[in-house]
Amino acid sequence: MSFRHTWILLLLIIQLGLWLYWFLKIKGNSYPLISKKIDKVVARHLNFSRIAIKNNIMIAGILLLTLSASGPQIGTKIRPVERRGVDLVIALDTSTSMDAEDVTPSRLAKSKLEIGKLIKNLKGDRISIIVFAGTSHLYLPLTTDYEAALLFLNQIDSEMIPTQGTILSTAMNQALESFSNDVDKFKVMLLITDGEDHDGKAVEIASKASETGLIINTVGVGSKSGSLIPIKDKNTQKVEYKRDSNGNLITSTLNESILKEIAIAGRGSYFWFANSADSHREIAFAIERMEKKTISTHEFSEYEDRYQLIGLASLLCFIISFTIPTKNKTKK
SS (H, E, C) 303-316: EEECHHHHHHHHHH
Spatial separation of the C-alpha atoms in residues 194 and 92, rounded to whole Å: 10
Residue 42, pLDDT score: 59
Judgement on whether residues 214 and 318 belong to the same structural domain of the protein: no
- Judge whether 77 lies within some domain: no
Its domain, for residue 205, covers 82-296
What's residue 137's pLDDT? 93
Indicate whether 35 and 136 sit together in one domain.
no
pLDDT, residue 33, reads 43
Question: What predicted TM-score, i.e. pTM, was given to this entire model?
Answer: 0.65
Looking at the domain assignment, is residue 231 inside a domain?
A: yes
| Same domain membership, residue 90 and residue 63 | no
Domain contains 48: yes
Domain assignment present for residue 216? The answer is yes
Same domain (yes/no): 104, 200: yes
Give 195-238 pLDDT, tens digit per residue.
988 788 899 999 998 888 899 999 999 998 999 999 887 777 77
Q: Are strands 293-305 and 187-193 parallel, antiparallel or unpaired?
A: unpaired
At 203 the pLDDT is 94
Amino acid letter, 200? G
Same domain, 155 and 184: yes
Given a cut of 50, the residues of the chain with pLDDT beneath it are 32-34, 332
Report the pLDDT value the prediction gives residue 34, as an integer from 0 to 100: 47
